[in-house]
Homo-oligomer: A and B are copies of this chain.
Amino acid sequence: MKKFRIVAALFLTTLMLAACGNINTTQNTPSTVNKKKLQTTGQAGGDNYQGVIKNGHYQVSKSRGVTNDQDANQFNLKSFENGLLNVSKKQFKPSKYIFQEGQYLSTGTVQDWLGRESKDNPDGLNPADNGKKDPDKRNPMYLQAMEEQDYMTQDGDNLKLSGITIGLGLNSVDYYTKEQYGAQYSTKISDEQVQEQGKAIAAKVLQRLRRTKGVGKDVPVIIALYKQAPDDSLVGGTFFNYSVNDGKSIDAWKNIDQRNAVFPSAGGSASSGTSNDESNFENFKTQVQNFFPNLSGVTAQAQYQDDSLSGMNVTITTQFYSQTEVISLTQYLAQVAPKYLPSGVPIDITVQSTDGVQSFLNRDAGENKFTTHVFGSY
């Protein structure tokens, strides 16, 4: 494991948001290599991790971009990575741990693991191709995405690896073509299979990770299982299981009860538990669309944890004719949103046109008022 120098003042900087986290090596330590400087990105917002800066550069993931290439639904990507940070926070507190992009699994490794098992690729974690093309007879690709996150703690003047989180993104639908550039077909994968296959893959990943140079035998490794949303979904997938492991084999799995919803829902009638939130949202939508001409869409993503609403992202799409209209709509939203939208959970409202984001409103869980921002230009 590489060691980076760090001064003891590091954690003071987490308290000073606007202060610069540029932490040079202390000069009184003879072993200091001057060019090796450690900085952190600072914390923006109370419960975010600080990130590792090495020699002035942000330390990007060793497998950077692999997941991105794999995923046709951009919602999955953000949801997977944000969700993985949230799973990590259950075990690695942002006040104590520093976030580092994954440094142990390389692009090549992750690409091999995400592939099918074959003579050329014995490490593939997806089942071998059985040659069948029928949706229900072929072996689908279960594992679609993998992400490593490292969690560091201070160890004297150094940073030490103190935790790893691995997210496994599992397909609920596997898209494939029967010939190159051919029509797209799909194999549906049941929730039971997603869970069973995910757990089996997780066991292999943990074993391999323990053998990886620098990881060590007892550093806590979280493995979190994520069910990817289908390509046509307007919201990303959800995490459903995670396990914190100190040894070589998987310890007990814990449930994550997470559910996403899109408002207005396609069917018109909401699924259980969401109906009240949805009717509130519908009232908000009616109010806003009545207020303003040319609003082409008012939609929302909602997320539920343990059957309670945990957050909402509202998107308002429109063709605006003037900046004064954007300002007025934003002011109006700041008035009606607290009245109609659920309280006690974080809510983002983004107003966008074909020219991009025009304004946005935001309220954190504990606040009453929405803060507003209208994007301007000189």
Question: What chain B residues lie within 8 Å of A253 (beta carbons)?
Answer: none
Contact at B64–A321, with CB atoms within 8 Å? yes
A293 to B64, CA, bound (A): 11
Decide: A377 near B331, CB < 8 A? Known: A61-B322, A321-B65, A338-B18.
Answer: no
Interface hit among A76-84, A113-121, A209-217, A277-285? A76-84
A1 within 8 A of B: no
Question: What chain B residues lie within 8 Å of A293 (beta carbons)?
Answer: 57-58, 60
Contact at B350–A375, with CB atoms within 8 Å? yes
Contact at B378–A236, with CB atoms within 8 Å? yes
> A363 — nearest CB in chain B belongs to which residue?
B18
> A21 — nearest CB in chain B belongs to which residue?
B335
Question: What chain B residues lie within 8 Å of A75 (beta carbons)?
Answer: 377-378
Interface hit among A43-51, A170-178, A182-190, A266-274? A43-51
A336 to B44, CA, bound (A): 12
Contact at B323–A82, with CB atoms within 8 Å? yes
A contacts, CB < 8 Å to B: 17-22, 41-45, 48, 50-51, 53, 56-58, 60-61, 64-65, 67-68, 74-75, 77-79, 81-82, 85, 99, 101, 147, 149, 235-236, 260, 290-293, 301-303, 311, 313, 321-325, 327-332, 334-336, 338-339, 348, 350, 352, 355-357, 360, 362, 368-378
